[in-house]
Amino acid sequence: MIKLHATRHAQLRARQRIGWHHRTLERMLERVFYAGLAADECDDVLHDYIDSRQSEAAVLPRIYGEHLFLFNRTDADAVVLLTVYRLPSEFKTHSRRARSDWNALAA
C-alpha cells in the first residue's frame, strides 16, 4: 500500500485554494490520488496545461473536481502531495469531458 502525505506547502495551498483544513486534506488524499484523472487520461489541451504546471518530470499530476494536485514519488511506497492549483475556467469543461469519458470506459 502506498503511503500518502502532504507537505506543509500543500496543506497551506489546500486551505487557501480549496478551503480544506489539513485534516480534510489528509482524509481526501487517497481519494484524490486513486480516483483523480491522470495526465494520460486527459485530452491534449488539458495535458498541455498540466505539463506547463509541472516543475520536474517525476511529478504525478491528478485532477480531482476543479483542482490540479501535483504529487511526487519519494520512495517506492511513498507519495507526497506538493501543491494544489485551481483549474482555470477554460479547462474545466475539458476536465468534465475527460471525467465522463473515463467513467464511460470504467462502466
E strands, 35-66, in order: 59-64
User: Total structural domains in the chain?
Assistant: 1
Query: Nine-digit cell at 60?
Result: 504525478
Distances (CA, A) of 53 to 10, 46, 70, 88, 105: 15, 11, 9, 12, 27
Angle between helices 22-35 and 8-17 (to 10 degrees): 90
> What are the pLDDT tens digits along the chain (107 aa)?
789 999 999 999 999 999 999 999 999 999 999 999 988 888 888 888 888 888 776 689 999 989 999 999 988 899 999 999 999 888 887 788 777 765 555 54
Instruction: Give the structural domain span for 88.
Output: 3-106
CATH number at residue 85: 3.30.2310
* Pair 66, 87: CB distance under 8 Å: yes
54 three-class SS: coil
pTM: 0.87
